[in-house]
Chains A and B, each alone.
Chain A
Amino acid sequence: MTAHPLGNGGRLAAIHGWLLLLPAAVLLAAFTHYPAVATFWHSLFTTPRGNRPARFIGADHYRDMLADPIFWTALQNNLVFAAGTILPSIALAMAMALWVNARIAGRGLLRLAYFTPTVLPMIAVANIWLFFYTPDYGLFDQVRGLFGLPAVNWLGSGDTALGAVIVVTVWKEAGFFMIFYLAALQQIPPELGEAAQLEGASRWQRFWRVTFPLLMPTTLFVLINATINAFRLVDHLFVMTRGGPDNATSLLLYYIYEVGFKFWDQGYAAALTMVLLSLLATVALLKFFWLERKVHYQ
């Protein structure tokens, strides 16, 4: 074994390595790990008020949560919201990318049009959609009116409100994911498709057997983003429904905001945050240890 340039075998090298990692480690610890641990710690205490200090109550917040119907509604809504946004937005993104990747007239404009929703602020978008959904003279009801269909109170009825919110999210996200697919599609060597064509593969076979598998790394990346967004994107709720009617569109993060910053019950909000955190951690673990093995990297 040759002498290390820094001398003294591996010891100094190890210190050297740790020092190099230190800035990143400090940032990660200060802004990711410490807040997570602190949140858990706070979730074990009551919320301090003016003249009543915080008191240790163990798992009481978690017990309350089990009996809290709004928490269960929000959780259930969030699962529906995830199911309704993740797959449709990915499928739509892929379809749009394939479409604007082809040689068609005006594809620059088309790409721009698909990407526009991404650059608009969510709050502005939500205000526009609020008027799309307005009963009677909103865009949707005007179109329905052409076919003689009655007006629908999209956001004001428990049956349709969550679906309406999901549509906005898919519309907002698909353009963003499309960009990743577009980049990935342009990385695929054209020979692969041409070879398949020589072998007599149909268009569908070429997509399903060649393009789709080669897009898998991108799909994994997009899937992770879509899942995180399904639990993170609540901006439009503030404008469109405020979680209503009767909690029909309340999502976990929105409920956490309400408990934390409207009810000022930070202890309980911390406990709710732990649920969200463990949900996301589980999803991430599943993806990295299970799904990743199924992905083909070129």
Chain B
Amino acid sequence: MRKLFSGLNQIAAGLGIALSVAAAPAIATDLTFFYPVAVGGPVTKIVDDMAAAFEKEHPGIRIKPVYSGSYQDTITKVLTANKGGDAPHVSVLLSTDMYTLIDEDAIVPFDELARSDEDRAWMQGFFPGFMKNSQTGGKTWGIPFQRSTVVMYWNKDLFKAAGLDPERPPQNWQELVDYGRKLTQRDASGKVTTWGVQVPSSGFPYWLFQTFTTQAGVELMNAAGTQTYFDKPEVIEALQYWVDLSRKHGVHPQGVVEWGTTPKDFFERKAAIIYTTTGNLTNIRNNAGFDFGVAMLPAGKQRGTPTGGGNFHIFKRATAEEREAAMKFVKWMTAPQRAAEWAIATGYVAVSPAAWETETMKKYVADFPAPTVARDQLQYAVAELSTHENQRVTKALNDGLQAALTGTKTPAQAMQDAQREAERILRAYR
């Protein structure tokens, strides 16, 4: 761009034309911003509008938002570009990719970019539950943007039909089984027409499994991301509970339950209670033809859920000037008012307590209080499973979970195998 402008200058000078436009300080900082879309709605338009609004307030910075597919597509594109020396300046990526990005030496910690006290105060402003996946080794590598947790949705009509209080969801593991028994409907031939509860297990079962392990009072990995605890007795017990829901109590479908069709199962009244992301809230609100409730997950020894979703990251390759501009952009995007608007438009959880105090958010939850459930559950939230070589370690766990759920391995066997594989992978990082 600069070259083009200096070229224009020369031509203008050569022609003897007084070109005031070319003489103006048009040298702007251009930032490339990669972002994935993982929920429904006109997300690309919202992001484009936000970028345009930012440019208006910051004339020296130009943002080029690039829709880069799913989370998986985005990390693939970003890391490939990074290897080729052409990484974007800013990108939204899964918070769990933090260790991968550090190992690839791709990102800079925000601590290095935070100069003023105001910057540091801004970094302190997010829910601690969301920061657990954004910090390691005493540094902050990601800033929460589109974050979610697992919540429970229940069908009030089916509760009424089963003789249960439609306003009171199950509060603990035992109640979930008891309620499930009452809610599971069979026809004359014994075929199930409605399942009591459904927890999806395709694709990324580890995320749903983490709800049970957290409730069992155990964490799946250490904070440094170098050690997993898949074979701890509490973990095996949590898996046993999940497996028992279908195999022992008969209140949950057998085998692996598809993530993508679970909301549809809920709409079709094939499942009375489902576990899914807060990000599905808008979808369920628009499509459920009945009265439904949103609640915190039932407690085991305690309540619990992992967080999920994407963080902002700033890339190392950028110049100091570009990083500073990127920092301004990230700060602007996560400011309370924007966070509130973003949460309302998408269904993600607004990332800072200040965002919930904005007029916009207060007005929204006054009519529709369901989003507050996710916020209140954050106090029990833990970091989503994330280690070095994250996807490989996660796959070891996913394979084990699916083996147990389909009945090819016992929970203990499955978790011991997963732990052995994780040990082998992580040994190099200790």
CA distance A158 to B193 in the complex (A): 23
Instruction: Tell me how far the C-beta of A264 lies from the nearest C-beta in chain B, rounded to whole angstroms.
Output: 7
Contact status A244-B402, CB under 8 Å = yes
CB neighbours (8 Å) of A262 from chain B are 72, 391-392, 395
Q: A50 and B106 in contact (CB under 8 A), knowing A131-B261, A151-B192, A245-B405?
A: yes
Query: Given A245-B406, A247-B399 in contact, is the A150-B191 Cβ separation under 8 Å?
Result: yes
B408 on interface, CB distance cutoff 8 Å: yes
A 118-139 to B, binary, CB cutoff 8 A, 1 in contact else 0: 0000000000001100111100
Set of chain A residues within 8 Å of B402, measured between Cβ atoms: 244-246
**A154 CB, min distance to chain B CBs, angstroms:** 9
Q: Is the CB of A49 within 8 A of B104?
A: yes
Is B55 located at the chain interface by the 8 A CB criterion?
Answer: no
Q: Are A244 and B202 in contact (CB under 8 A)?
A: yes
CB <8 Å contact, B192 and A134: no
Once bound together, how far apart are the Cα atoms of A153 and B255, in whole Å? Answer: 7
| Contact A148/B256 with A51-B105, A246-B399, A247-B399 known, Cβ cut-off 8 Å | no
Q: For the complex, what is the distance from the CA of A244 to the CA of B404, rounded to whole Å?
A: 13
CB 8 Å contact bits of A146-166 with B (1 = contact, 0 = none): 001011010111100000000
Q: Determine whether A60 belongs to the interface, using a CB cutoff of 8 Å to chain B.
A: no
A134-B258, A156-B255, A263-B391 given as contacts; is B189 within 8 A of A49 (CB)? Answer: no
Q: Say if the beta carbon of B323 comes within 8 Å of chain A.
A: no
Nearest CB of chain A from residue B390's CB, rounded to whole Å: 9
B270 within 8 A of A: yes
In the complex, the number of residue pairs spanning A and B with C-beta atoms less than 8 Å apart equals: 95
B113 in the interface, Cβ–Cβ < 8 Å? no
Please state if B255 and A130 are interface contacts (CB–CB under 8 Å): no
- B79 near A264 with CB under 8 A, answer yes
Smallest CB-CB separation from A160: which chain B residue?
B255
A135 neighbours in B (Cβ, 8 Å): 253
Interface string of A256-268 (1 = CB under 8 A from B): 0010011111000
Complex interface residues of chain B between 246 and 274 (CB less than 8 A to chain A): 253-258, 260-261, 264-265, 268, 270
Q: From A73, which residue of chain B is reached at the shortest CB distance?
A: B399
In the assembled complex, B103 has its CB within 8 A of some CB on chain A: yes
Residues of B within 8 A of A49 (CB): 103-105
Q: Shortest distance in angstroms between A268's beta carbon and chain B's nearest beta carbon?
A: 10
A223 and B402 CA atoms in complex are apart in Å by 35
Residue from B72, B253, B261, B268 with most neighbouring chain A CB atoms (10 Å): B261
Whether B408 pairs with A50 at a CB distance below 8 angstroms is no
Q: How large is the interface on B (under 10, 10 to 19, 20 to 34, 35 or more residues)?
A: 35 or more
Decide: B258 and A130 in contact? CB cutoff 8 A: yes
B372 touches A (CB below 8 Å): no
A111 at interface, CB cutoff 8 A: no
Asked if residues A155 and B256 are in contact (CB atoms below 8 Å), the reply is yes
- Whether A61 is near chain B, meaning CB under 8 Å from some CB there, is no
Q: Is B256 a contact of A245 with CB atoms below 8 Å? A: yes
Q: CB distance A157 to B106 under 8 Å?
A: no
> CA separation between A241 and B79, bound complex, in Å?
25
Task: Give the contacting residue for B392; candidates A50, A136, A246, A263; CB below 8 A.
Answer: A263
Q: Which residues from chain B contact A287 at a C-beta distance below 8 Å? A: none
Residue of A at shortest CB range from B388? A49
A155/B408 in contact, CB under 8 A: no
Q: Quick check: is B76 within 8 A (CB to CB) of the other chain?
A: yes
Check A264–B100 contact: CB distance below 8 A. Answer: yes
Interface residues in A153-196 (C-beta closer than 8 Å to B): 153, 155-158
Residue contact A263 to B389, C-beta cutoff 8 Å: yes
Closest Cβ of chain B to A236, distance in Å, is: 13
Which B residues are CB-close (under 8 A) to A151?
191-192
> B307 within 8 Å of A by Cβ?
no
CB-CB under 8 A from B392, the residues of chain A are 262-263, 265
Q: A151 vs B189: C-alpha distance in the bound complex, in angstroms?
A: 12
Interface flag for A242 (CB, 8 Å): yes
Q: Is B203 interfacial (CB-CB < 8 Å)? A: yes
**CB contact list, B374-430 vs A, under 8 A:** 389, 391-392, 395, 398-400, 402-403, 405-406, 408
Closest to A148 in B: B189
A75 and B265 CA atoms in complex are apart in Å by 34
Contact status of A50 and B105, CB under 8 A, knowing A137-B268, A263-B389 = yes
**Assembly CA distance A282 to B246 (angstroms):** 46
Are the CB atoms of A137 and B270 closer together than 8 Å?
yes
- Per the bound structure, the CA–CA distance linking A50 and B99 in Å amounts to 12
Q: How close is A201's CB to chain B, nearest CB, in angstroms?
A: 52
16 contacts between A and B (CB under 8 A): A50-B102, A50-B106, A130-B258, A131-B264, A134-B258, A136-B265, A148-B189, A151-B192, A156-B201, A158-B408, A244-B402, A245-B406, A246-B399, A263-B391, A264-B79, A264-B104
16 further interface pairs, Cβ-Cβ under 8 Å (given A50-B106, A51-B105, A156-B258): A50-B102, A50-B105, A70-B399, A130-B260, A131-B261, A151-B192, A153-B256, A156-B254, A156-B257, A244-B203, A246-B403, A261-B76, A262-B395, A263-B391, A264-B104, A265-B392
